[in-house]
């Protein structure tokens, strides 16, 4: 870097060594007997495509429409039968798909994704340090040894560095392979659900999903929903309609090892559900493992989760190099392509940062620091600032902490052109998130239209306190009172005051010439990793004005459910229209803090209903696990 004028940009992706502007495929009309008219056509097509793939060396196959299957190479077998269904392929013909057509580009991408899964397994078979699996429809590559970055040890789980491979075919024909590197929590090999039943029975009500201890070719380790223990059954119980016992069924499948089958002979019987099926099937507890996600760990072993969380932060450069190392040598067998690294490129800052002019109360400048002399563009909209201290302290200690709170408030006043909302009298400290919840329930509307300025220590439950405040629709700004003395510099208080001012509804500056055509920006966060955490969205206009924030109901895990997402988008649009005399935004950009697990179908339906373009971007941070730009538009 020269004179501090350049910055390094890393792209977590590989690029295919050829273009996919046009892709030759073979198309087949098909018939299925019996034909279930009430079945979803996409589900039927993909089930038939898998039948074709399984019987032709796992050749990539997918649907083009409700009655047409396509493959990357011609198939010889045209008739198939499986579990009472008969499939016949008709009218074989060659066809060329083009990536400039959205529907055809999505079909090409599905074919490539299947080939990537084959490539990942081939890569794993040729190396002794990785294994391949599937997750959320994409291939994943995991290191066999647990991550050396995680020093926390556990007797029942391990953490692995895992790479998810997601193809992104652009309209220009360029194929990018997105490298989503993250940590994956898995039960140790000897930890089965039978172990939980015998050693940790209190965990059973907290475990939502289980995973087979064995893998199936081209399917990986199947995951199912745990539906409970069957006290009336044993491994020798006969399966209805099969004429064999549960144990015999697994012995004949021969997917489990001899040791696993020997343990299964003395196993408890459980019920599990696969996919979206309502009916459950019997399984053996010794042949499945419990799945440990953040939500489960929060309930069964929160202290371990807190220790792990400190190590899950992952510097960007290290993540990029690890991703490239794990994917090195990947080769797609059916499409016969390799991938090239996208080298880190140094760009001049001016080419990365647009030339934007910012309006303040007393003038125009090109950076936010000018607020110190030009004053904020508009004042806070919250009507009061309520100080709050967490923990038990002596009167003298409270006085010291409150002096830091007042310094933050006074710094905030220093860049305001008007008088700030008043800083109220210091209330009694709280000792926990539950104590705050109880106080808010008992005080009615006293905290309405206020912002809490909360002083706490490093060990205090910040996330839980934040979630409680959000659930009561109260804005918060946190500050630490236990930093070393030299940490409390002018810069510290300026940053803290800027957060307090902005979250309190103030606008530091207005943007004069915002690039692009997005009128509304929505910042989406799930608010935490537990079922107590609400999802929320903070809203900004293209000028930088805050429209406030919208709160969704408490969600489970890191995915907002479809109904909550749709409602949140609708509320955000209503708030924008209210502030703009009923006008609709031309375009909405949704920034997702972390991976976007939510439904793109909900986004698409919202976009079509209101005729508003929507872009979705995953915001990658040092602790995140992937970054994706505009998946709806596939730009």
Q: 384 with 450: CB under 8 angstroms?
A: yes
Task: In whole angstroms, give the CA distance from residue 477 to residue 455.
Answer: 9
Percent of the chain scoring above 70 in pLDDT: 88
Task: In whole angstroms, give the CA distance from residue 510 to residue 48.
Answer: 55
Return the minimum-mean-pLDDT range out of 215-219, 308-312, 624-628: 624-628
What tens digit of pLDDT does each residue of 393-422 get? Answer: 999 999 999 999 999 999 999 988 889 889
Full-model pTM: 0.62
Task: In whole angstroms, give the CA distance from residue 44 to residue 63.
Answer: 9
What average pLDDT does this structure show over 549-573? 71
Question: 534-541 and 546-554: which strand pairing?
Answer: antiparallel
Report how far Cα 347 is from the mean position of its chain's Cα atoms: 29
Count of other CB atoms within 10 angstroms of residue 232: 7
User: Would you say residue 628 has pLDDT above 90?
Assistant: no
User: Would you say residue 620 has pLDDT above 70?
Assistant: no
Closest CA to 213 of 224, 229, 227: 224
Mean pLDDT over all residues of the chain? 85
Per-residue DSSP letter, 487: G
pLDDT of residue 150: 86
**Neighbouring C-alpha atoms within 13 Å toward the C-beta of 530:** 17
Task: In whole angstroms, give the CA distance from residue 449 to residue 298.
Answer: 32
What average pLDDT does this structure show over 338-342? 82
User: Would you say residue 265 has pLDDT above 90?
Assistant: yes
What average pLDDT does this structure show over 458-469? 87
pLDDT of residue 352: 46
Main-chain dihedrals φ then ψ at residue 341, nearest 5 degrees: -70, 145
Query: How big is the chain, counted in residues?
Result: 635
Q: Which two tokens stand for residue 541?
A: 């206009």
What tens digit of pLDDT does each residue of 106-142 get? Answer: 999 999 999 999 999 999 999 999 999 888 789 999 9
Task: In whole angstroms, give the CA distance from residue 498 to residue 506.
Answer: 9
User: Would you say residue 556 has pLDDT above 60?
Assistant: no
Closest CA to 319 of 152, 151, 147: 147
Task: In whole angstroms, give the CA distance from residue 453 to residue 504.
Answer: 10
User: Would you say residue 348 has pLDDT above 50?
Assistant: no
- Taking each helix axis from N to C end, the angle separating 562-579 and 600-610, rounded to the nearest 10 degrees, works out to 30
pLDDT of residue 349: 38
Closest CA to 366 of 519, 545, 509: 509
Whether residue 34 is preceded by a cis peptide bond, meaning omega within 30 degrees of 0, is yes
DSSP structure string for 451-519: EEEEEE-TTS-HHHHHHHHHHTT-EEEEEES-S-GGG--HHHHHHHHHHHHHHTT-BS-EESS-SSS--
pLDDT band at 550 (very low <50, low <70, confident <90, very high): low
Percent of the chain scoring above 90 in pLDDT: 48
pLDDT band at 504 (very low <50, low <70, confident <90, very high): confident
Q: Where is pLDDT greater, at 169 or 357?
A: 169
Q: 567 with 555: CB under 8 angstroms?
A: no
What tens digit of pLDDT does each residue of 68-114 get? Answer: 999 999 998 899 888 788 889 998 899 999 999 989 999 999 999 99
């Amino acid at each position: 870097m020269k004179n501090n004028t350049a910055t390094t940009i890393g792209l977590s992706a590989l690029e295919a060594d050829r273009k996919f502007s046009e892709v030759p495929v073979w198309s087949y009309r098909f018939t299925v007997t019996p034909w279930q008219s009430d079945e979803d056509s996409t589900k039927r097509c993909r089930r038939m495509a898998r039948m074709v793939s399984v019987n032709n060396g796992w050749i990539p196959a997918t649907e083009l429409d409700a009655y047409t299957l396509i493959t990357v190479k011609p198939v010889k077998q045209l008739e198939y039968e499986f579990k009472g269904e008969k499939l016949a392929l008709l009218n074989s013909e060659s066809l060329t798909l083009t990536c400039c057509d959205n529907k055809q580009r999505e079909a090409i991408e599905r074919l490539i994704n299947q080939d990537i899964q084959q490539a990942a397994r081939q890569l794993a078979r040729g190396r002794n340090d990785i294994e391949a699996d599937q997750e959320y429809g994409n291939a994943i590559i995991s290191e066999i040894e647990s991550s050396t970055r995680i020093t926390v040890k556990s007797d029942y789980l391990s953490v692995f560095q895992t790479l998810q491979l997601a193809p992104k075919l652009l309209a220009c024909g360029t194929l990018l392979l997105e490298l989503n590197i993250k940590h994956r929590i898995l039960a140790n090999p000897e930890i089965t659900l039978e172990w939980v039943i015998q050693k940790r029975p209190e965990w059973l009500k907290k475990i939502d999903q289980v995973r087979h201890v064995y893998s199936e070719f081209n399917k990986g380790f199947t995951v199912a929903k745990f539906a409970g223990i069957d006290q009336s059954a044993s491994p020798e119980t006969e399966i209805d309609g099969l004429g064999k016992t549960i144990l015999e069924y697994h012995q004949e499948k021969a997917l489990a090892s001899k040791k696993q089958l020997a343990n299964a002979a003395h196993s408890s019987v459980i019920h599990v559900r696969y996919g979206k099926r309502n009916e459950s099937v019997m399984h053996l507890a010794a042949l499945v493992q419990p799945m440990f996600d953040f939500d489960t760990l929060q309930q069964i072993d929160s202290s371990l989760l807190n220790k792990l969380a400190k190590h899950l932060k992952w510097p960007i450069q290290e993540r990029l190099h690890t991703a490239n190392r794990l994917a090195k040598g990947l080769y797609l067998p059916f499409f016969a392509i390799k991938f090239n690294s996208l080298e880190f490129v140094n760009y001049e800052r001016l080419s990365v940062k647009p030339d934007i002019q910012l309006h303040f109360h007393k003038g125009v400048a090109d950076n936010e620091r000018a607020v110190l002399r030009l004053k904020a563009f508009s004042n806070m909209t919250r009507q009061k600032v309520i100080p709050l201290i967490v923990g038990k302290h002596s009167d003298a200690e409270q006085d010291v902490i409150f002096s830091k709170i007042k310094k933050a408030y006074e710094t905030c006043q220093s860049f305001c052109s008007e008088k700030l909302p008043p800083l109220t009298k210091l209330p009694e400290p709280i000792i926990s998130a539950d104590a705050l919840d109880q106080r808010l329930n008992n005080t009615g509307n006293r905290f309405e239209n206020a912002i809490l300025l909360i002083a706490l220590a490093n060990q205090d439950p910040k996330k839980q306190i934040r979630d409680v405040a959000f659930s009561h629709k109260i804005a918060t700004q946190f500050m630490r009172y236990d930093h070393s003395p030299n940490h409390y510099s002018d810069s510290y208080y300026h940053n803290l005051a800027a957060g307090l001012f902005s979250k309190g509804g103030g606008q530091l500056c207005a943007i004069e010439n915002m690039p692009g055509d997005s009128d509304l920006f929505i910042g989406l966060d799930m608010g935490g990793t537990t079922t107590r955490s609400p999802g929320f969205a903070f809203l900004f206009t293209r000028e930088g004005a805050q429209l406030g924030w919208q709160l969704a109901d408490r969600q489970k895990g890191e995915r907002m459910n479809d109904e909550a997402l749709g409602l949140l988008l609708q509320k955000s649009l209503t708030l924008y229209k209210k502030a703009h005399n009923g006008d609709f935004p031309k375009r909405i950009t949704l920034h997702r803090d972390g991976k976007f697990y939510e439904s793109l179908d909900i986004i698409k339906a919202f976009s079509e209903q209101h005729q508003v373009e929507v872009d979705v971007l995953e915001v990658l941070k040092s602790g995140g696990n992937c970054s994706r730009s505009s998946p709806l538009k596939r730009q």
